[in-house]
Amino acid sequence: MTEQDPAPFAVGVPGPTPAGRVAYQQELHRALSMKENILITLSAVTPASSVFIIVPTILLGVGGASVLTMLVGGFAAVFVALCYAELAATYPITGGEYTWAARLLGKPVGFAIFMLTLVSAVLIIAVIALGTGEYLGVAWEGLGGKWIGVAVIVVTTFVALLNIRTNAWVTGIFLAVEIAAVAVVAVLGFVHVERGPAEFLHAQVATGGVLANVGVGAVVALVPVALFAYNGYGAAIYYVEETKNAAKNIGRVIIVCLFVTVAVEIIPLAAVVLGAPSMTELLSSDAPMNYFLVARGGATLNVVVSIGIAIAIINAVIAIILQVARQLFASARDRSWPDPIDRVLSAVHPKLHTPVAATLVVGACAVLAASFVPLDWLITATGAGVVAIYLAVALAALRLRRPGARTSAGYRMPLWPLPPIVVIAMMAYVTYQLAVSALSQLIVAAATIVIGAVYYYAFIHPRRGERWQLADPIIEVDDL
């Protein structure tokens, strides 16, 4: 399916594009610099949380070779980032992945991906917010429990209502705190080196208090976990209509965010592997990062760093609410819902320049999910979503340079079409792994996609003359 010419009444028009097509209006405030976009995007990635929550899974699975696994995962993530970068530069639209899929893979696929990204992101907000109590509870037991996570969502939703530049600096300050937390881990490891970098090639697990070697297959099997530990750098696209010179800069923002994320996650892991007093004790611990902190810095430092990780989680909740609200705003602007709902969700506050109603809806849905859906159900519902999203991104990237297609105003990936082909192959492998070990996650993701497609054909397709006209990206002018 190819792109279709949009009808002139689909959106407001600041002026015709060079091809005589219709473009979206500039409704959000273009206030962010490239650096400020990076701050919010890195906050959504929350690399410090990954170091303490996701990376330990790899560490306990392959020991010192976890560093090698993370390096391989980082290399693989580059191919995903290259696809994101050129797609974002070609279609700098705040709706993100669904806007690319709709234009390059067909509108039904686009809405199915929208439904998957929306549901997954709202539930991810609930999942990570519920982790806040686990880390605050280290400092004060009364701050543990589910309702602390719910309170975090409520408070951060109102923070997300502030103008985007204020949020950039709020999340930037919180980001500095979480980077400081992982820096403490790195320093402790590098000043107490117990073994050499050859340990990075030793794949081991602790069994009954004894280290046992594992094969290369274990390292390869954990690469997808590493890939997902880095996930989030593509979120820069959600702030693209609020970023200055976005078409030229957005590709670089995505690449920079990936490399910063990889560095912030690998360096402290390498420090822990080199500086742990005992690899046996490290790999026998249920919480290896906390074991390391207590062993090298004491219980008080463990409490301080745990508070830093709680701050990182809160920061991520703010950033993800911001991005999902903008996605919901974009869907209403594309007229995805009944007219009264579209009008409310696409409204932008005249002073704050933020989609207030969309933000409140996202926060309310996340509160309901955190309050009433069991955590294991939330994890199941979000586990495989990123696989389908990456696959759609790669397939869209394959169609970017077809004859007569829109060309990127900024970034163009090298070695095209190799990057999307590599991503498709990786996602096929990950899908196989999930089918073997977590079939329920695939089923939930597939069901969400089907629901999105059914909604498209039931509501949007019969009204296709006036809905989902897929306008061109906003034309940037000097005074925006």
What's the rounded Cα separation, in Å, for the pair 96 and 355? 16
Residue 461 has which token pair?
């397709």
Angle, vertex CA 361, rays to CA 335 and CA 39, nearest 5: 95
Provide the whole-model pTM.
Answer: 0.90
Each residue's pLDDT tens digit, 403-416: 777 777 778 999 99
Does residue 6 carry a pLDDT above 60? no
CA atoms within 13 A on the CB side of 316: 29
Q: Count other C-beta atoms under 10 Å from residue 462's C-beta.
A: 9
Of the candidates 353, 360, 365, 359, the one whose C-alpha atom is nearest the C-alpha of residue 325 is 359
Which residue shows structure tokens 């301080």? 304
Each residue's pLDDT tens digit, 360-386: 999 999 999 999 988 888 887 877 888
Residue 474: pLDDT band by 50, 70, 90 thresholds? confident
Report, as an integer, the average pLDDT of 276-282: 94
Report, as an integer, the average pLDDT of 254-282: 96
Report, as an integer, the average pLDDT of 197-222: 89
Of the candidates 118, 179, 161, the one whose C-alpha atom is nearest the C-alpha of residue 318 is 161
What's the rounded Cα separation, in Å, for the pair 424 and 454? 25
Cα distances from 237 to residues 252, 253, 324, in angstroms, run 11, 9, 11
> Could you tell me if 413 and 419 are in contact, meaning their C-beta atoms sit under 8 angstroms apart?
yes
Angle, vertex CA 91, rays to CA 11 and CA 468, nearest 5: 35
Each residue's pLDDT tens digit, 346-357: 999 999 999 999
Report, as an integer, the average pLDDT of 90-104: 94
What's the rounded Cα separation, in Å, for the pair 454 and 113? 12
Cis peptide before 417 (omega within 30 of 0): yes
Q: Which residue would you say has higher pLDDT here, 101 or 433?
A: 101
Residue 474 has which token pair?
């906003």
The per-residue pLDDT for 168 is: 92
Report, as an integer, the average pLDDT of 290-314: 92
Q: Interhelix angle for 385-398 vs 418-437, to 10°?
A: 160
DSSP single-letter state for residue 207: E
The per-residue pLDDT for 21 is: 67
The per-residue pLDDT for 376 is: 82
Does residue 7 carry a pLDDT above 50? no
- Helix runs in 191-245, H state only: 216-221, 223-229
The per-residue pLDDT for 142 is: 72
Does residue 434 carry a pLDDT above 60? yes
Whole-angstrom distance between the N-terminal and C-terminal Cα of the chain? 34
Residue 20: pLDDT band by 50, 70, 90 thresholds? low
Does residue 13 carry a pLDDT above 80? no
> Domains in the chain, please, with CATH?
34-404+411-464 (1.20.1740.10)
What's the rounded Cα separation, in Å, for the pair 362 and 116? 14
Each residue's pLDDT tens digit, 304-316: 999 999 999 999 9
What's the rounded Cα separation, in Å, for the pair 272 and 200? 11
